[in-house]
Amino acid sequence: MKTYFSSLFIVFILIQAINGLYEDQIGKFDWRQQYIGKVSHAIFDSTGKKIVVGTEENVLALLHAGTGKIEWRHLLGNGPKSKISSLFVLNNGKVASISSSPTTVRVFDMSSGILQWEATVAKESQPIVSKWAASTRDIVLVEINPSKSGYELLLTEYSSNSGTENVSPTIELPWFTPGTDCQLVFPHLVCLHPHDDAVNVVDVTNSDSHQRIQFSDLGVAVGAGQSAVFSSVSRNLVSLRTTDTLSVYKVTDEGLQRIGAEWPSETVLVSVPSVKDAEAQQRYMSGLVKQEKDYLIRIYDLEADRMLEDVSGTVKLPEEVGEANLLSTFLMRKANGDLSYRYAIGTTDDSFHYGSKKEVYWSREESLTSIIQVEIVDLPVSSIEASIEEEFGSDQVLGGIFGHTIRRLSSQFRQLLIIAQQLMAGQINFVRRDAVGSNNRALERDRFGLHKLILIVTRPGKLFAMDTLSGRIVWQRLLKNVNTDKLRLYVQRTSIHYPLEPQCIILAKSSTSKQGILFVFHPITGEPGNFGSEGYVNLGFNVQQALLLPQNEETEYIKPLLLLDESAVPHVFPPTESALSHVVKMSDNLFVFVADTKSCVLRGYSLAKSTTDHLSSAPVWQLQLCSSNDVVEEEIVSIVSRHPEEKVFSQGRVLADRSVLYKYLNPNMVVVATAGTNHPHHRGYFNLYLIDVVSGAVVFSTSHRRVQSPYHVVYAENWIVYSYYNEKYRRTELSSLELFEGQTQSNSTAFSSFSAPQPLVDRQAYIYPAHITAMKDTFSEQGMTAKHILLGLSNGWIQEMPRVFLDPRRPVVAAATPEMREEGIMPYLPELPIPAEAIVNYNQTVFNIKKIHVTPSSLESTAMVFACGLDIFFTHVTPSRTFDVLNDDFEYGFIALVLTGLTLASFITKRLASKKSLRQAWK
Amino acid sequence: MKLSVDGTILLKLICLTFFVGVQSNDGETSKEWFKIEGKVQAPDAWARLNPDWKLHTYVLIDGGEYRAFLRDDASFSVSVPSGSYVVEVSNPTVFYEPVRVDINSKGKFRARRINHIQPSAVSQMTYPLKFKPGMPYRYFQQREQWRITDLLFSPMVLMMFLPLILIFILPKMMNDPETRKEMENIQMPKYEMPEMSEMLTSLFGGGDAKKTTKSSGSKGVVKRK
């Protein structure tokens, strides 16, 4: 009976905790953008209306050439091991992609995107050379393997319709030496050893066709120490690029036949365009020549052996893109018989452009698939509020009643003007909530702080600002001359401090030296700040650690950035007097720690000895976490601290007996997770340390044996949740820790790391029946709203899991007491549920979720979620439901109806009553 | 009985080979690849409405470690080295139960139900895999339907109608001769009615003068009798 009640109770709690969307809320505040990744292969189809692309994110997709939209896409695998090495468009309207490890040929139908066949080339040993090509009927694989007497060539043909495999007898290659680079121009193989002065050409279908061609016969002089590289251009063309020349050869049975004159050495690429009429398929060739700032597309007629100067044209790529590194062209004959071209160009900022001689029709910003960091910033106040701010601003010239009255009148006049302007422009929206996609909204703050700007830093060094309402890119900027391996974004001044402009900085390394570079910019407009040259500030030292101070200084309202150089000398940016004095004022309580993830050494520094003349740091503590020797390999996998803006609303948990269990809220605690493998048994292990980074004390540590990556750690308030893959039981597990001070609080006013109490630690582990790719906690402005954990799953879902499910105090069913129920603690169940109603992105799956970013809005109930991976997804979550705004199904009409009804009724009855009383009086 | 014993032995064997396989993963690239094969079924009506469902259905092995795609006949195959894998079919609309597939080093396949709590429990399933569609996912909560009873019993409407009942219907009931008789029998405390009317007067002002007179009228009747 008791268990029956408890199960009933669980069901009740589950119903309470699930907090899903309604169907009519689709797209109300969420949006998704789908991407494909940096394009590495692009081929036009035979009509020129579709572009088949293969990308570095291992995506095979079909793009509509007119709009740039994705017709279909397939993620072929995760990580560099399933890289798409070749891509072919076959004559029968099919697409073949070759992925590595295990080498797999997949043939898809181009129009539907459905897989036709696939073949895995699973070999005992990796061949030395493995090249793919597409002939008219088949997909061809040429491999060179070591044999008894040297090297042999193996030719395998796969029928493009059915995938039937046909292996030809091997051919001995007596001339082959390891290190030779080969290009397959079917049926010829063009091989060149870097130290050789001659090219070997062999017909892979004919065993005695080997030719050796000297460079001098090719008309190219390759000096000693100069490099010469062949690359295949099309089915019968190869290009030879030496240090300063680029020439193209046609491969025939007779050898290499030079085609046309030399291309300018700055030619980026040469590719043969697809042409609409089939007989002219192999007739033209195109190249992209760099000309100062612009690019020139040149078309070469192979049959007439001349450059078609009238067809060639310049390409004006949009601003803020990198160098072009990929070209695919399509030639078509216009109605008047002239040739015209369409091009698809990939650039080093990972964007992909399509256009014609006239203009660029569309660009895809594929760097958004490799997001490094995200910050969601407030927009500036609206012009009406700005005028109010000005009215009460501090710099007032006129004082007294008279001055105030004038200011009030003038500001109200201005507000009236603004309202009139907005009315004219149709900007004022009388609808309660704005639908997603309304692009005409001005970039200004709204009442509930739901309209913000997402600042995005991407791997190729491109910055984006996106509107949270629509997902529109407001501005973009490519960082110049920086090493983009490590980029950090800091918000130094938010837009709250009107009329001071907001300010952000990017910390990067210089591309030429290892020294640090700062880029200062305005987050709303993207304009570079007034520092250094165009916002770039060369620091002149190598940055070891950077720390944005939590409080702003009082004159400029800027949060100073503290930079530690290699010898641990602190520097402050901006180097103003007020920032410096702010740091010195805080220096007694300023501690910095540096962690080396490879060697697992943590060092703590104190800035207590700093003066305004000389900032200095002194090492305080040092901690060696990993044990590294021959049998064990360990490194730090994650360091997590609490979000600096997170607020803790309640200091403790009220127990059923009305006593309080105080939370251990150490603001200086950091979670450091290390993972390693024990080599003799190849067993993974995972250690978690809670370290007070002021004193260097290890507050708590725990270890898990026989576990594997992926590891994810979330740390908020006084609890930590982390996930790992249990190798022994082959399942993902979520562990939860919660730290308490006990029934008494050691110091209720301030926390001191030097007299910190030892916390009581509750812990519990749960089975999670899915694969986690990202994990993040939600938080609100005041910390009153319940905490949920957002889990990005491998199938593209984002689950919102209430923290109570992971409460380490959940007792086993037998030990569950009514008191615990009163507290709201559920009995322990080992497996956590994944109800579909808890999926915040419903059927809008997000591929390969890498990161989830959460930011609170001005509404206490609502947090904003930005998830990124291959796709981008943005939504609002309300962990405790929308308790501070009316539900969107609130019936305004009904309440208005009832109110008017009541008023009317009261008037009518009043009238009736007066009539009646009059009649009564006459009686 | 014998079968189950065999099963456990096989399981141990598989565990053993699995870990051997893991060990050799890093050392050498030589691996023997095996093909997991299966077929995915879709609910007929839904598949007719969504002819491109095969495009949006993926087969994930170990959460995307390997991926497979559906062919025209909704079958799939994927090459993996020997080991134990979770094979799940991912579709944003329809749920499919994931399956664990064990492959030993000799290439023997076994499919079984996933049991996270008792990972060693074996509940065998058919191989080649057959994924039958489960319930469609219910991502959304149901909005409450608008019903007339909701309106009638809403506090606002009750607030409107109850006083009306008190004002109009109660006095009418008093006029009814039978009720009047009943009222006599009940011997209601006399002060109650005026009290009520006073309250209403204070509430509705002049409007309740009628009420007061009405009740006084009925009182008069009682007196006369």
| Cα–Cα distance, A870 to A848 (Å, whole number) | 6
Q: What is the DSSP string of A543-559?
A: EEEEEE-SS--TTT---
Supply angle C-alpha A754, A756, A760, rounded to 5: 155
**pLDDT at B13 (0 to 100):** 32
Nearest by CB to A831, which of B33, B116, B209?
A: B116
**pLDDT at A468 (0 to 100):** 92
B contact test, residue of A21, A71, A95, A118 with most B CBs within 10 A: A118
CB pairs under 8 A between A and B: 149
In 3D, which of B174, B163, B191, B217 has the Cα closest to residue A920? B217
Nearest by CB to A794, which of B52, B64, B116?
A: B64
Asked whether the bond before A187 is cis by omega within 30 degrees of 0, the reply is yes
User: What mean pLDDT is reported for chain A?
Assistant: 86
- Residue predicted with more confidence, A665 or A259: A665
Distance of CA A732 to CAs A305, A708, B115, Å? 63, 9, 12
ipTM for the whole complex: 0.84
Both structure tokens of A365: 């910003």
Close Cβ partners of B90 (under 8 Å, ≥ 6 residues apart): A795, A796, A845, B57, B58, B59, B60
**pLDDT tens by residue, A334-354:** 878 788 889 999 999 999 999
Residue A726 scores a pLDDT above 90: yes
| Cα–Cα distance, A439 to A426 (Å, whole number) | 13
- Residue predicted with more confidence, B26 or B148: B148
The residue behind tokens 């591929």 is A847
| Most confident segment among A5-19, A224-238, B208-222 | A224-238
Q: In what order do the strands lie in the sheet with A84-89?
A: A84-89, A94-99, A103-109, A115-121
- Residue predicted with more confidence, A286 or A367: A367
Contact B117 A125 (CB under 8 A): no
Both structure tokens of A334: 């216009």
| Cα–Cα distance, A168 to A73 (Å, whole number) | 34
Both structure tokens of B5: 């014993």
Chain A closest CA to B84's CA: distance in Å?
9
Q: Measured on CA atoms in the order A783, A781, A476, A51, is the torsion positive or negative?
A: positive
Distance of CA A830 to CAs A360, A645, A732, A733, B119, Å? 56, 33, 12, 10, 13
Residue A609 scores a pLDDT above 80: yes
**pLDDT tens by residue, A319-336:** 888 888 889 888 888 878
**pLDDT tens by residue, A74-110:** 999 888 888 999 999 888 889 999 988 788 999 999 9
**pLDDT at B225 (0 to 100):** 37
**pLDDT tens by residue, A866-886:** 999 999 999 999 998 888 888
The residue behind tokens 């720390």 is A547
Kindly state whether B119 is in contact with chain A, defined as any CB-CB distance less than 8 angstroms. yes
Residue A620 scores a pLDDT above 80: yes
The tally of CA atoms less than 13 A away on the side-chain side of residue A375 is 22
The residue behind tokens 């009509």 is A47
| Cα–Cα distance, A613 to A619 (Å, whole number) | 20
DSSP state of A825: P
Do residues A274 and A286 touch, judged by C-beta distance below 8 A?
no
Of chain A, the end-to-end C-alpha distance in Å amounts to 73
Chain A closest CA to B224's CA: distance in Å?
19
The residue behind tokens 């798409």 is A84
Q: How confident is the model at residue A273 (pLDDT cuts 50, 70, 90)?
A: confident
Chain A closest CA to B116's CA: distance in Å?
7
Other C-beta atoms closer than 10 Å to the C-beta of A422 total: 16
Q: Measured on CA atoms in the order A574, A576, A580, A581, is the torsion positive or negative?
A: negative
Residue B174 scores a pLDDT above 80: no
Q: What is the DSSP string of A751-779?
A: --GGGPPPPEEEEEEEEESS-EEEEEE--
| Cα–Cα distance, A288 to A296 (Å, whole number) | 6
**pLDDT tens by residue, A224-249:** 667 778 888 877 888 888 877 888 88
Do residues B134 and B40 touch, judged by C-beta distance below 8 A?
no
Contacts of B213 in chain A (CB under 8 A): 920
| Cα–Cα distance, A416 to A690 (Å, whole number) | 57
Close Cβ partners of A468 (under 8 Å, ≥ 6 residues apart): A376, A450, A451, A452, A453, A454, A864, A874
CA-nearest residue of chain B to A725? B62
Nearest by CB to A910, which of B32, B86, B205?
A: B205
Other C-beta atoms closer than 10 Å to the C-beta of B218 total: 16
* Cα radius of gyration rounded to whole Å, chain A: 34
Distance of CA B137 to CAs A53, A839, A860, B134, B141, Å? 32, 10, 30, 9, 11
Chain B closest CA to A388's CA: distance in Å?
40
- Give contacts of B 140-159 with A, CB under 8 A: 140-143, 156-157, 159
CA-nearest residue of chain A to B119? A729
Residue A659's H or E segment, with its range, is none
Nearest by CB to B139, which of A78, A793, A839?
A: A839
Contact B140 A771 (CB under 8 A): no
Nearest by CB to A905, which of B93, B160, B210?
A: B160
Contacts of B159 in chain A (CB under 8 A): 902
Contact B209 A917 (CB under 8 A): yes
Helix axes A892-922, B155-164, angle to 10 degrees: 10
Over residues A507-512, mean pLDDT:
91
Pairing of strands A39-44, A632-641: unpaired
Both structure tokens of A861: 């109930």
Contact B33 A21 (CB under 8 A): no
Contacts of A902 in chain B (CB under 8 A): 159-160
Contact A795 B93 (CB under 8 A): no
**pLDDT at A374 (0 to 100):** 95
| Cα–Cα distance, A758 to A760 (Å, whole number) | 7
Nearest by CB to B30, which of A124, A845, A906?
A: A124
CA-nearest residue of chain A to B214? A920
| Most confident segment among A485-499, A546-560, A679-693, A787-801 | A787-801
Other C-beta atoms closer than 10 Å to the C-beta of B29 total: 13
Within A215-369, strands assigned E span: 228-232, 237-242, 246-252, 255-263, 267-271, 274-275, 284-291, 294-301, 306-315, 324-333, 339-347, 351-356, 360-365
Contacts of B32 in chain A (CB under 8 A): 122
Contact A795 B207 (CB under 8 A): no
| Cα–Cα distance, A158 to A139 (Å, whole number) | 5
Do residues A733 and A724 touch, judged by C-beta distance below 8 A?
yes
Q: Which stretch of A712-726, B63-77, B122-136, B168-182 has the lowest confidence by average pLDDT?
A: B168-182
| Cα–Cα distance, A408 to A399 (Å, whole number) | 12
> Can you give chain B as a three-state secondary structure string?
CHHHHHHHHHHHHHHHHHHHHHHHHHHCCCCCEEEEEEEECCCHHHHHHCCCCCCCCEEEECCCCEEEECECCCEEEEEEECEEEEEEEECCCEEECCEEEEECCCCCEEEEECCCCCCCCCCEECCCEEECEEEECCCEECCCCCCHHHHHCCHHHHHHHHHHHHHHHHHHHHHCHHHHHHHHHHCCCCCHHHHHHHHHHHHHHHHHHHHHHHHHHHHHHHHHC
SS3 A334: coil
Chain A closest CA to B106's CA: distance in Å?
15
- Residue predicted with more confidence, A399 or A519: A519
SS3 percent helix, strand, coil of chain A, rounded to 5, is 15, 45, 40
High-pLDDT (> 70) share of chain A, %: 94
In 3D, which of B130, B104, B110, B132 has the Cα closest to residue B122? B110
Q: pTM of the full predicted structure?
A: 0.85
Q: Which stretch of A702-706, A893-897, B153-157 has the lowest confidence by average pLDDT?
A: B153-157
- Give contacts of B 161-200 with A, CB under 8 A: none
| Cα–Cα distance, B105 to B19 (Å, whole number) | 11
Query: What is the four-CA torsion angle of A367, A369, A370, A372, rounded to 10 degrees?
Result: 100
| Cα–Cα distance, A509 to A563 (Å, whole number) | 13
Nearest by CB to B54, which of A114, A767, A770?
A: A114
Both structure tokens of A734: 């979520």
CA-nearest residue of chain B to A795? B90
DSSP state of A814: G
- Residue predicted with more confidence, B24 or A920: A920
Nearest by CB to B139, which of A21, A76, A793?
A: A21
Both structure tokens of A256: 């290499």
Contact B30 A767 (CB under 8 A): no
Residue A672's H or E segment, with its range, is strand A669-678
